[in-house]
Structure 1
Amino acid sequence: MSCVNNILVVLDPEGTEQKALNRALQLARISGAKLTLLLSIYDFSYEMTTMLAAEERDLMRDSLIEDRRVWIRDLLEDYNTRDLQINIQVVWHNRPFEAIIEAAITGKHDIIVKGTKQREGLAALLFTPTDWHLLRKAPCLVLLVKEHDWPEGGQILAAIHTTGENNQHQELNQRITEQALRFAQCLSSTVHLVNAYPGAPLTIAAEIPEFDTGNYRESIAENHRQALAEHAKPFAIPAAQQHVQEGLPEQVIPALAKELDAELVVLGTMGRTGFSAALLGNTAEHVIEQLNCDLLAVKPAGFQSPVKV
């Protein structure tokens, strides 16, 4: 089974290094998937040119779109695209994430591939960039690409939340592992599972001096080890590739990915929205800022994007 079939590649309108395109071409050569190269552009000054008639503004906008199509065709000349099915799509839209999601839905793409980079400072938490919107709202897989290579015989790390008691968490764990194994098959890689669990609250030892934090921590760790082993068994993932570690996911996952020199981290995102999500983000968003490899975000089954087409 192919890991992907229909790839939507988000081009960087200003970047000389097209990380998403490089990765998507690699995936397409391996899987035989078809590619759509998407560029979302917008210039507010074109909309504000009141001296021009509507038809003249449309002609100017169409001319700019055609210029960018030519730019993409010129860009592709530097790549080996032999035997690949590639479509070019340039859209005029003032909200790039909506343009991307609309294209993914109408084109029935099973994955969005987009380059990303680490953002520093408070703005990364307060202002939601396109990456974060895609993690929350895209209805398909989202692959955010960094600089790490994808070598054969590499490592893929799938982050599992074993304490989720409801069916949605269990189904999401299943989907995360299945996707990790599909990509591992395409990339000739090994899948590792990781589960992070919280330690004993410090307040317990302070309030209850006789409380044995050592036994408590070991009991919690053992419960998580058993739960992860139970999850891994149907997938035949051996114990040596199951990692249960104490700590927050945003600390444990990047640290283990670095230790394994993983090429890809796969995790689930529940698609939270609203002010609290914009301010605090979710696990996927906290994790990706610390990763030096790609991240594949998986949505729950039946997830519906709030973006309307």
Structure 2
Amino acid sequence: MQPHQILVVIDPTSGDSQPSLERATWVAQRSNSSIELLLCEYNSALDGGYFFDGPAQKKARESLLSNRVKWLEKLAQPLRDAGVTVTTEARWGKPLHTMILQRIEEIKPDLVLREAHSHSLLQRLFFNNTSWQLIRYCPVPLWLVRDVEWRGERVCAAVDPVHSSDKTATLDHRLVKATRWISDNLQMQADYLHSYAPLPRTMIFDSELVAAYEQYVERSAKQHQEAFANLMADYPIAKEKQHLLEGFPEEVIPAFVEEHQTDLLVMGAISRGNLENALIGNTAERILEAVQTDLLVIKPTDTKE
């Protein structure tokens, strides 16, 4: 996962306090990475409004972006003074996630950082959550930053080794490799977690299946134990750093993160694009709403190492 170039999405509404930039600086100084600061601006009053004609609107937008660039340069200067290579880019347009994805396609960064903003289920349903859109479509690792005190001490990878496709199996290994890189290069203690939840007894109505429920639970536990052990067998990771827990991921993972004071949670996300997934959201989206820690989302389609 060696990040040679990091793209940081700057929030123009947050002033000089930019947690995503602080986190990117922390990573860049430990990995010798360069940084680009991206700011995307849009105001409907300067786009087809009634108070400006075409040339005046264009001039007003250019003036606004020029001021934004000056501000980005102000944010960049302390990093440059510390030896980090930093470039800046300000653009006009909407929606925000489309502008970000366009810039990702242009410069092909190794890592993208943006502040995470939690939204309600109704907002997610109507696709208003930029973080949700980036989780689905960002082709490179996406680091969603919480506005909390950063200790940079513990990282946890949440894997799902019980799968039926090579795509998911590849993703599990990407998560482990990325977490190992973070542990080795950013000096963070690493944990590796897999959680599973057998079908509840209350959802089984067939009498024969009810009678064999305990055997089903045992078989399920054994299946997950073996799959998790097989995944971790490829890596020199101490047993005490491997955690197999029973329970629903959206409940177990946030509880583990809180108990172990995890600073960064590493997860995979696979977009399926069907209506059910749009309504409910995948595991990464639900956990994003539940945890109060940074989240690094990795997609199986990312070809960077």
Q: Tell me the TM-score normalised to structure 2 length.
A: 0.90
Confirm or deny: 8 A CA contact 2:117 2:131 kept in the other structure: no
Distance (whole Å) between structure 2 residues aligned to residue 35 and residue 60 of structure 1: 28
Q: Structure 1 residue 157: deviation in Å?
A: 1.1
RMSD of equivalent CA atoms = 2.3
Q: Name the CA shift for 1:150/1:215 in 2 (closer, same or farther; >3 Å).
A: farther
Confirm or deny: 8 A CA contact 2:46 2:52 kept in the other structure: no
1:131 match:
131
Q: Structure 1 residue 289: deviation in Å?
A: 1.1
Q: Structure 1 residue 232: deviation in Å?
A: 0.6
Q: Structure 1 residue 127: deviation in Å?
A: 4.1
2:173 corresponds to 1:174? yes
Secondary structure, aligned partner of 2:233: helix
1:55 match:
55
2:97 corresponds to 1:97? yes
2:249 match:
249
2:301 corresponds to 1:301? yes
The one-letter code of the counterpart of 2:3 is: V
Secondary structure, aligned partner of 1:8: strand
Q: Tell me the TM-score normalised to structure 1 length.
A: 0.89
The one-letter code of the counterpart of 1:257 is: V
Q: Structure 1 residue 124: deviation in Å?
A: 4.4
Confirm or deny: 8 A CA contact 1:144 1:294 kept in the other structure: yes
The one-letter code of the counterpart of 1:32 is: N
2:264 corresponds to 1:272? no
Distance (whole Å) between structure 2 residues aligned to residue 267 and residue 187 of structure 1: 18
Alignment deviations for residues 219-275 of structure 1 (CA, whole Å, 9 cap, x no partner): 321221121111011111222122122222111111111121111111111123354
Secondary structure, aligned partner of 2:211: coil
Secondary structure, aligned partner of 2:271: coil
Q: Name the CA shift for 1:105/1:81 in 2 (closer, same or farther; >3 Å).
A: farther
Count of aligned positions:
301
1:222 match:
222
2:260 match:
260
2:2 match:
3
Confirm or deny: 8 A CA contact 1:171 1:301 kept in the other structure: no
Segments of 5+ residues of structure 1 without an aligned counterpart are 304-309
1:107-186 map, 5 Å: 107-120=107-120, 122-151=122-151, 154-186=153-185
Alignment deviations for residues 44-77 of structure 1 (CA, whole Å, 9 cap, x no partner): 1212245655333222211110011122223445
The one-letter code of the counterpart of 2:4 is: N
Alignment deviations for residues 94-147 of structure 1 (CA, whole Å, 9 cap, x no partner): 211011111111011011100113335643454431100100011111000114
Secondary structure, aligned partner of 1:109: coil
Distance (whole Å) between structure 2 residues aligned to residue 261 and residue 283 of structure 1: 21
The one-letter code of the counterpart of 2:200 is: P
Distance (whole Å) between structure 2 residues aligned to residue 293 and residue 56 of structure 1: 44
1:201 match:
200
1:72-87 map, 5 Å: 72-76=72-76, 81-87=81-87
Segments of 5+ residues of structure 2 without an aligned counterpart are none
Q: Structure 1 residue 211: deviation in Å?
A: 1.8
Secondary structure, aligned partner of 2:11: coil
Distance (whole Å) between structure 2 residues aligned to residue 39 and residue 29 of structure 1: 22
Distance (whole Å) between structure 1 residues aligned to residue 265 and residue 187 of structure 2: 15
